[in-house]
A = this chain, B = another copy of it.
Amino acid sequence: MRLIGIDWGTSSFRAFRFAEDGSLLATHSAARGILTVEGGKFAEALQGEIGSWLDGSPLLLSGMIGSRQGWIEAPYCPAPAGADEIAAACIDLPGFSGHIVPGVSTVRPDVMRGEETQILGTGIQDGLICTPGTHSKWVRVVGGRIVDFATHMTGELYAVLRQHSILGRLMEGDGEDEGAFLAGVATAKADPALGRTLFTARSYGLFEKVPASGLASYLSGLLIGTEIASEPGDGPVYLIATPALTKRYQAGLSVFGRTAQSIDGADAAAKGLWAIGQRLYGREG
Contact = CB atoms under 8 A, between A and B. Distances in A.
Interface of A: 105, 108-111, 135, 150-154, 156-157, 160-161, 163-167, 192-196, 198-200, 203-204, 206-207, 209, 223, 226-227, 229-231
Contact of A109 (B198, B207, B223, B230): B207
Q: Can you tell how many copies of this chain the complex includes? A: 2
B199 A152 contact: yes
Given A163-B164, A164-B163, A164-B164, A157 B195 contact: yes
Given A160-B165, A164-B160, A164-B163, A193 B110 contact: no
A192 B193 CA distance: 7
Contacts of A105: 207
Contact of A230 (B108, B196, B200): B196
Most chain B CB atoms below 10 A, which of A110, A151, A195, A223:
A195
13 contacts: A108-B203, A110-B199, A135-B166, A135-B199, A150-B196, A151-B196, A151-B203, A153-B195, A156-B166, A160-B165, A193-B194, A194-B194, A195-B223
